A and B are shown apart, each in its own frame.
Chain A
């Protein structure tokens, strides 16, 4: 005799039908209310729907199963409101980026810069070439500076465990909260102001490194902590020095996690605008030299388009963001994929 498993605690069909009926009734009631009073638009509709449906569901639960069940229903309703309020902006943002981002992209978008055409010119001229090159340069230089420092910091906290580790960990966390504008101001005040040096890509990369190092360091520390201590002991027991153990055993074991840390660091700085305003400035022409003179970057491109204000410029701004978002999504996707591959192994 076979027995079928059941889940009697799940909501019964009757419960679900009641809930759906209540929701529909609330929509109708909200509509009615809007039509007959001075409110207009979708927002009041949503708000009234929320109020009606939660109240109705709470009353029904209360009648059926008492005051505690009514409170449960209100809590569940509030939780769903929170969920909705969380998701609505995300969906709206993604939708806007996708729907408005492609308008300005045409054949030559990636191969021309803005040196010949102002931001308000029609959308079949000008492009983002200079910004792409600039952002790439900045990321490369920032990587060269931040990855070693970030990983060394993590190593200090997990391998050497030297004096002041607690302090350093605390400081790294504090550092990750520094507003990006402060990083830019710092580089300006230390290296540009009063020295006669002008803006350059390199300066921007320095400012970005300040933001990138804590991200890399924290993620790298988490990842290195996951490497089992037995591995380290095995290395040392074989007579290897500490640095050999770290270099040949620990780091390879944490390889994919470290790559994730780096990727997250890049995602952190790819879209930063404020620091660049004090360090790299922005240029409309392509500048291949990061050590000298302003460079265009994607965030600055967007910023300039924003300031311009014309509809064409607005489309350009959305296009810039669209490309930036593609990059961030790609980076995130890779990081997720790597961390899942790690745990599966």
Chain B
């Protein structure tokens, strides 16, 4: 973003803040006629963007989706979605329910194909190579592109420690120091202090928020370059949600994170870029993709504006 744009935004923000404190947010700030109204989320987005400062070099490469379609049998679920997820960023996918966000997410690590009757079109590039190319080893792809699910799903037959290393065991990877890896992943997931004394208790004995962080730790153990998160906090209480959002922030320093969320405040808090998807009865489509701050302060598309200001969804 160029400096004067930043200046301009800052001014808008200040005016918007004044406007919001005195009247309700529906009142547009009195500026030039072509300024679209901003939402309170814009403040959140700006604040969080300024908090995040890039200090470390992110690893791996970003992920790119080109003209991705997906079908369930004859039902065309998502249509022509092209997105470039830059390295070391957090991208949020927002949109009303049923618009295909989760479906799209699952095409990114080839989980979509487990549904009987599933079909797709387009390409998903990792390191510039299409993960759907014939002859690709799909299990290796999933080691590089990890996923955290909506409902925490630690393996109940394994202890906490074993859960963290489950990915290593499943893929039969050779690791020199398992304990060190376990501690590192739990640290990064923000769970180490809480479970370091009870690593041999069953995975299911933790609270919901802790289980989800365990799942995050588990997916970190195989060293993915990209982490996909499918509404990871929707089943959790606000305290756990906050912890996980902090974790996401930490993770994005070294990998690319893509998070589906129906909670716009969360998208504003956590992401660098936001993509808005919408389905008008047909297949879900990408409406707009922009830095988070812009989506929430100056959305270009009218539909985006309607969504982020809460007119529908």
Verify if B288 is at the interface (C-beta below 8 Å from A). Answer: no
Does chain A have a CB within 8 A of B118? Answer: yes
Q: How far is the CA of A148 from the CA of B172 in the complex (A)?
A: 58
Q: Which of B79, B133, B139 contacts A8 (CB 8 A)?
A: B133
Candidates B69, B110, B137, B139; contact of A5 at CB < 8 Å: B69
Q: Does A68 contact B (CB under 8 A)?
A: yes
The answer to whether A7 touches B134, judged by C-beta atoms less than 8 angstroms apart, is no
User: Is B135 a contact of A6 with CB atoms below 8 Å?
Assistant: no
Please state if B137 and A66 are interface contacts (CB–CB under 8 Å). yes
Q: Decide: B172 and A8 in contact? CB cutoff 8 A.
A: no
Q: Taking the complex as formed, is B242 at the interface, i.e. its CB lies under 8 A from any CB of chain A?
A: no
B59 within 8 A of A: no
Looking at the assembled complex, report how far the CB atom of B229 sits from the nearest CB atom of chain A, in whole angstroms.
23
**Distance A3 CA – B123 CA, assembled complex (angstroms):** 13
A4 an interface residue at 8 Å Cβ cutoff?
yes
B171 with A68: CB separation less than 8 A: yes
Complex CA distance for A66 and B79, rounded to whole angstroms: 35
Partner of A3, one of B69, B118, B133: B69
Contacts of A12 in B (CB 8 A): 134-135
For A6, give its contact among B119, B137, B139, B172 (CB under 8 Å).
B119
Quick check: is A336 within 8 A (CB to CB) of the other chain?
no
Residues of B within 8 A of A244 (CB): none
- Once A65-B137, A67-B172, A69-B137 are accepted as A-B contacts, the answer to whether A9 and B113 lie under 8 Å apart by CB is yes
Given contacts A67-B172, A68-B171, contact A6 B121 (CB under 8 A): yes
Q: Is the CB of B138 within 8 A of A9?
A: yes
Contact-size category for B? 20 to 34
User: Which residues in A have their C-beta under 8 angstroms from that of B137?
Assistant: 65-66, 69
Q: Are B135 and A8 in contact (CB under 8 A)?
A: no
Bound-state CA distance A274–B143 (Å) is: 59
In the complex, residue of chain A having the shortest beta-carbon distance to the beta carbon of B76: A5
Chain B 165-208: CB-based contact to A (< 8 A → 1; otherwise 0): 00000011000000000000000000000000000000000000
B172-A7 in contact (CB<8A): no
- Within B69-125, which residues are at the interface with A (CB < 8 Å)? 69, 71, 79-80, 110, 113, 118-122
A16 to chain B, nearest CB (A): 12
Known interface pairs A68-B171, A68-B172. Does A7 touch B69 (Cβ–Cβ under 8 Å)? no
Complex: A12 Cα to B136 Cα, angstroms:
11
| Chain A residues bordering chain B, tally (CB within 8 A) | 15
Contacts of B172 in A (CB 8 A): 67-68
Distance between A214 CB and nearest chain B CB, rounded to angstroms: 34
Would you list which residues of chain A between 21 and 53 have a CB under 8 Å from chain B?
none
CA distance A18 to B119 in the complex (A): 24
User: Which residues does chain B contribute within 8 Å of A64, judged by CB atoms?
Assistant: 135
A7, closest chain B residue (CB):
B119
Min Cβ gap A86→B in Å is: 23
CB of A5 within 8 A of CB of B134, answer no
Question: Do the beta carbons of B119 and A5 come within 8 Å of each other?
Answer: yes
Q: How long is the Cα–Cα vector from A65 to B172 in the complex, in angstroms?
A: 14
In the complex, chain A residues 267-322 whose Cβ is within 8 Å of any chain B Cβ: none
CA distance A6 to B171 in the complex (A): 28
Report chain B residues within 8 Å CB of A69: 137
Tell me if B132 is interfacial: C-beta within 8 Å of chain A. yes
Assembled-state Cα–Cα distance A3/B80 (Å):
9
- Residues of chain A within 8 A (CB-CB) of B79 are 3
Contact B121 A3 (CB under 8 A): yes
Asked whether A7 lies within 8 Å of B118 as measured between CB atoms, the reply is yes
Q: How far is the CB of A332 from chain B (nearest CB, A)?
A: 27
Question: Are A5 and B171 touching (Cβ within 8 A)?
Answer: no
With a cutoff of 8 Å between Cβ atoms, the chain B residues found around residue A14 in the complex are 134
What are the residues of chain B within 8 A of A65 when measuring CB–CB?
Answer: 137
Nearest residue, chain A, Cβ from B73: A5
Which residues in B have their C-beta under 8 angstroms from that of A9? 110, 113, 132, 138
Q: Which of A5, A8, A66, A67 contacts B71 (CB 8 A)?
A: A5
Task: Report the bound CA distance from A4 to B69 in whole Å.
Answer: 9
Contacts of B120 in A (CB 8 A): 5-8
Q: Are B139 and A4 in contact (CB-based, < 8 A)?
A: no
Q: CA A6 – CA B119 in complex, angstroms?
A: 5
Nearest chain-A residue to B70 (Cβ)? A5
Shortest distance in angstroms between B157's beta carbon and chain A's nearest beta carbon? 20
In the complex, which residue of chain B has the Cβ closest to the Cβ of A8? Answer: B132
Q: Is the CB of A7 within 8 A of B135?
A: no
CA distance A7 to B115 in the complex (A): 12
CB neighbours (8 Å) of B119 from chain A are: 5-7
Which single residue of chain A is at the shortest CB-CB distance from B139?
A: A68
Q: For residue A71, give the distance in angstroms from its CB to the closest CB of chain B.
A: 9
Residues of B within 8 A of A67 (CB): 172
Closest to A1 in B: B80
Q: State the Cβ distance, A62 to closest chain B Cβ, in Å.
A: 12
- Further 10 A-B residue pairs, CB within 8 A, beyond A3-B69, A5-B119: A3-B79, A5-B120, A6-B119, A7-B113, A8-B120, A65-B137, A66-B137, A68-B139, A68-B172, A69-B137
CB pairs A–B below 8 angstroms (19 shown): A3-B67, A4-B121, A5-B71, A5-B119, A5-B120, A5-B121, A6-B120, A7-B119, A8-B120, A9-B110, A9-B113, A9-B132, A9-B138, A12-B134, A66-B137, A67-B172, A68-B171, A68-B172, A69-B137
